[in-house]
């Protein structure tokens, strides 16, 4: 009988422990399912603007023609309207590989822009109807990299650009300049406008990596440049220093956490992205959502959810109407 009672007691203890664990799991699950969001962070190219359209072909100070029948253009206009509404309620930050000159007119709804993969942080203030004159919207700009490195490696980047331009005439080359001091801090070699992405990738990437590894970074650790490759995206990035969206995320998080830019008590962050370079930010975010805008792309994303670009405006509108309480039901 004593043995039976002892076993029964152990069973009751195990059962009670399992109930406690299950209860904690339910609480955690509930927190994830219903979370108050106070900050929206997002990539731009491929996320707020579909990869099927080349943003370099849209003049930076012009918007889309409303008569354009292209569905992605229509969704992009719809998305911009929703983002303006959101920006009146909570903080919006952009974390992009693009520079401020590119992002300025395209992300006027944002409060903070982390440019060139965290190399520069810009504080801006717009109203939807205003016209920015000589960048009077910029309240502060911060270079997050030693200026000596930027000056030295801007020459290295120009060397790479010259070599690529002389060998590949059909590629698009996007120079990324800092807002402060106008320094060349990054470059994107882009072939999205061409037909056979894989064929071009297999020819271009080895050539670029050979230049970087054997002509620039060889025995030159202080002034090494950094390359960002992608599994299926039709471009490759080269930066004047090691940089990442994890650093950009941390910079914006600290800014929001230490300032009055967001008066809500919680600092739950939702992050939107579309490529491998977003994975460090995905892993840090409270809610992470991958955006798919092109069937030819199949990156491995470390996000909790994945939606199509055409679903994004409707999701954000639901989030807005739900007082920024995230739930899987609104996806």
Q: Which pLDDT belongs to residue 16?
A: 56
Q: Over the stretch 146-202, which tens digit does the pLDDT of each residue have?
A: 999 999 999 999 999 999 999 999 999 999 999 999 999 999 999 999 999 999 999
Quick one: pLDDT band at residue 54, thresholds 50, 70, 90? low
CA distance 159 to 103: 25
Q: Which pLDDT belongs to residue 52?
A: 72
Q: Which pLDDT belongs to residue 66?
A: 39
- Give residue limits of the domains in the chain: 1-33, 37-144+245-330, 147-239
Q: Which pLDDT belongs to residue 55?
A: 64
Q: Which pLDDT belongs to residue 67?
A: 41
Give the rounded percent of residues in the chain with a pLDDT score beyond 90. 72
Question: If you average pLDDT over residues 243-268, what whole number do you get?
Answer: 83
Q: Strand 91-95 to strand 112-115: parallel, antiparallel, or no bridges (unpaired)?
A: parallel
> For residue 23, is pLDDT > 60?
no
Q: Which pLDDT belongs to residue 56?
A: 58
Q: What is the CATH number of domain 37-144+245-330?
A: 3.40.50.1000
Q: Which pLDDT belongs to residue 242?
A: 94
Question: If you average pLDDT over residues 68-81, what whole number do you get?
Answer: 79
> For residue 65, is pLDDT > 50?
no
Q: Over the stretch 270-314, which tens digit does the pLDDT of each residue have?
A: 999 999 999 999 999 999 999 999 999 999 999 999 999 999 999
Residue 111, sorted as left (phi over 0), alpha (psi -120 to 50) or beta, turns out to be alpha
């Amino acid at each position: 009988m004593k043995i039976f009672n002892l076993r029964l007691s152990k069973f009751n203890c195990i059962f009670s422990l399992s109930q406690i664990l299950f209860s904690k799991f339910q609480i955690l699950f509930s927190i994830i399912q219903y979370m108050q969001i106070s900050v929206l962070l997002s990539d731009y190219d491929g996320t707020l603007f579909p990869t099927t359209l080349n943003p370099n072909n849209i003049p930076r100070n012009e918007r889309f023609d409303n008569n354009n029948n292209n569905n992605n253009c229509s969704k992009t206009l719809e998305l911009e309207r929703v983002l303006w509404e959101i920006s009146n309620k909570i903080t919006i930050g952009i974390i992009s590989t693009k520079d401020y000159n590119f992002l300025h007119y395209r992300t006027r709804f944002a409060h903070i822009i982390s440019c060139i993969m965290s190399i520069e942080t810009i504080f801006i203030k717009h109203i939807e109807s205003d016209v920015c004159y000589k960048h009077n919207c910029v309240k502060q700009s911060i270079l997050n990299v030693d200026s000596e490195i930027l000056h030295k490696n801007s020459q290295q980047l120009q060397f790479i650009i010259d070599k690529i331009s002389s060998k590949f005439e059909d590629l698009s080359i996007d120079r990324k300049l800092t807002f402060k001091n106008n320094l060349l801090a990054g470059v994107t070699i882009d072939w999205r406008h061409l037909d056979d992405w894989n064929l071009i990738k297999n020819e271009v990437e080895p050539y670029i990596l050979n230049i970087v590894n054997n002509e620039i970074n060889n025995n030159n650790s202080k002034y090494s440049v950094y390359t960002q490759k992608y599994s299926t995206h039709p471009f490759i990035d080269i930066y004047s220093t090691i940089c990442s969206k994890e650093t950009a995320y941390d910079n914006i998080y600290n800014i929001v956490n230490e300032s009055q830019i967001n008066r809500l008590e919680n600092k739950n962050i939702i992050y939107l992205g579309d490529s491998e370079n977003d994975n460090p930010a995905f892993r840090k975010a409270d809610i992470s959502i991958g955006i798919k805008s092109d069937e030819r792309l199949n990156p491995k994303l470390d996000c909790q959810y994945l939606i199509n670009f055409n679903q994004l405006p409707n999701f954000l509108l639901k989030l807005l109407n739900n007082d920024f309480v995230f739930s899987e039901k609104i996806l």
